[in-house]
Amino acid sequence: MNKQLLAVAVAAAMFAPAIASASATVYGRVQVEYNVEDDNGTGQDSQQSVDDNAGMSRLGFKFKEKLGGGMTAFGKIEFRIDPADNSASGTNGTATSVVGALGQRDAHVGIKSSWGSLAAGSFHAPYKTAGGVKWDPMVATHLQARRAGGMSGGAGIGGHNGFMRNAIYYTSPNVNGFKVQFAISPDETGGAAAENQNDESDNDYSLAVQYKNGPWHAIFAHNRNNNDGVTRDDESLTKVGLRWKHAAWTLAGQYESISDGDRSSTGGTPGLNNAYRAAANEDSDILWLNAQYKAGNNIFTASYGTTDVDVSGASDYDFDYWMVGVIHKFSKKTRIFGGYTATDGDDDATTGSGRDDRDAWTVGIRQDF
């Protein structure tokens, strides 16, 4: 039996008692792309791939139970799967175990009522889901803006990648169009040694305030990633954004300011080896703009982004990103998509990393269930 299918079967068996309950939901997504990419940084022209490189595919379980008194308990467990490479996107790159085939995404449990919701576990940070990945129609494809010069990336709480682990998350009720989300990690762990050396690195947090009124959606978000202050300074990220939807049109834009980049400056690329972002302890400003037009079952979209990096005591550099694409929805659950993207990596820069040009064509299919 295919090892990944075996892993999924074992995982399903683990949660079978809960899934059998009427209050449990099994859901998932499978996505695969065919991509042709040129990357000056690697010297590889027209490299082809069939993959889910951005990690869109997943398998999840949601649970809820009404407790009375207006309260509801809820929970979620979600795993990342890779339909093209079997286990390459798992947690240890090994195809011989459940751990190798399934990589944990968000998993948490909590209670909600009229006062909002409170949960503990692993989450998408509020910074990530206020605007950001929710607004980019090509997110988690080779055409996405994050890590390509249009949005910050990075693991953990910084930027638009990864998850906030060991966290407590509060979401307020909607009051006159306003909603507040706040998450704090009393002892967040990360890849950098500076995350674990002393108490100075504790209490990382992420905050988002969102306002919706008619066609308008405004966001403000802020992250704080505390380090030891010796090997790395504290990282902070601030973001504002605005989206307008009317009839067939959707226009959106957001601006990010990052100080002393840390985890927001890490992470892979949408395609090959370049990473279009600031290096550690550098400051950066990131602007992203997007337009969408819906015609029948088709969505035509275009994005532009720019990342300006401020290097202390050295030459600054910048990245320019743009994308054009189309999404065709056969139904609410099945779609195909395709398009072209390019990033000018500022080849003339004398410092920084991942500054070479990149362009890619991609076409893909996605099925939700």
Locate the domains of the chain by residue range.
37-51+114-368
The more confidently predicted of residues 286 and 101 is 286
CA 225 to chain centre: 17
Q: Which CATH architecture has domain 37-51+114-368?
A: Beta Barrel (2.40)
Q: Which amino acid is at 358?
A: R
pLDDT digits (tens, 9 = 90+) for 166-182: 999 999 999 999 999 99
- What's the pLDDT band for 355 if we cut at 50, 70, 90? low
Give yes or no for residue 311 having a pLDDT over 60: yes
Phi, psi of 133 (to 5 degrees): -65, -20
Give pairs for 320-324: CB < 8 Å, separation 24+.
320/149, 320/344, 320/346, 321/145, 321/148, 321/149, 321/150, 321/276, 323/138, 323/143, 323/145, 323/150
pLDDT digits (tens, 9 = 90+) for 28-64: 999 999 999 887 655 556 778 887 766 789 999 999 9
Give yes or no for residue 244 having a pLDDT over 90: yes
- What's the pLDDT band for 101 if we cut at 50, 70, 90? low
Tokens of 155: 């693991």
Per DSSP, what are the bridge partners of residue 55? Answer: none
Give yes or no for residue 294 having a pLDDT over 60: yes
Q: Which amino acid is at 92?
A: N
Question: How long is the chain?
Answer: 369
Instruction: Give me the percent of the chain exceeding a pLDDT of 70.
Output: 77
- What's the pLDDT band for 19 if we cut at 50, 70, 90? very low
200 DSSP 8-state letter: G
The predicted pLDDT at position 93 comes to 43
- What's the pLDDT band for 229 if we cut at 50, 70, 90? low
Give yes or no for residue 113 having a pLDDT over 80: yes
Which of 241-245, 256-260, 262-266, 310-314 has the highest average model confidence (pLDDT)?
A: 241-245
Rounded to whole angstroms, the Cα distance separating 149 from 307 reads 5
The predicted pLDDT at position 180 comes to 98
Give yes or no for residue 200 having a pLDDT over 90: no
b/e string for 285-303 if b means 16 or more Cβ within 10 A?
A: ebbbbbebebeeeebbbeb
The predicted pLDDT at position 4 comes to 46
pLDDT digits (tens, 9 = 90+) for 137-172: 999 999 999 988 999 987 778 889 888 989 999 999
Q: Which residue matches tokens 């302890």? A: 281
What is the value of pTM for the model shown? Answer: 0.85
- What's the pLDDT band for 89 if we cut at 50, 70, 90? very low
The predicted pLDDT at position 230 comes to 62
Rounded mean pLDDT of the chain? 83
Rounded to whole angstroms, the Cα distance separating 101 from 4 reads 5
Give yes or no for residue 1 having a pLDDT over 50: no
Distances (CA, A) of 26 to 9, 66, 79: 13, 19, 12
- What's the pLDDT band for 114 if we cut at 50, 70, 90? very high
The predicted pLDDT at position 293 comes to 98
Give yes or no for residue 273 having a pLDDT over 80: no
